[in-house]
Amino acid sequence: MNNAQNDIYLSVVIPAYNEQERIADTLYTVKEFLNAQPYKSEIIVVDDGSRDWTTEVIKTVDIYGNEMKDQNVSSIMENVKNVGKGFSVARGMLRAHGKYILFSDADLSTPIEEVNKFLPELEKGCEVVIGSRRMDDSEVEKKPFYRELMSFTFNSVVGLFAIRGIKDTQCGFKAFSSEAGKKIADMQKLYGFSFDVEQLFLARKLGYCIKEIPVKWEHVEGSKIDPLRDSIRMFIDVMRIRMIHRKA
Query: Could you give the number of structural domains in the chain?
Result: 1
Compute the distance between CA of residue 39 and CA of residue 237 in angstroms, rounded to an integer. 38
**pLDDT (mean) for 162-173:** 87
Compute the distance between CA of residue 63 and CA of residue 65 in angstroms, rounded to an integer. 5
Whether 53 has a pLDDT exceeding 90, the answer reads: yes
Confidence class for position 68, pLDDT limits 50, 70, 90: very low
CATH number at residue 167: 3.90.550.10
pTM of structure: 0.88
Backbone dihedral region of 165: left (phi > 0), alpha (psi from -120 to 50 degrees) or beta?
A: left
Condensed to tens digits (0 to 9), the pLDDT of residues 111-147 reads: 999 999 999 999 999 999 999 999 999 999 876 666 6
The residue among 72 and 131 whose pLDDT is bigger is 131
Task: For residue 13, give its domain range.
Answer: 3-244
Condensed to tens digits (0 to 9), the pLDDT of residues 93-104 reads: 999 999 999 999
- On whether the CB atoms of residues 29 and 107 are closer than 8 A, the answer is no
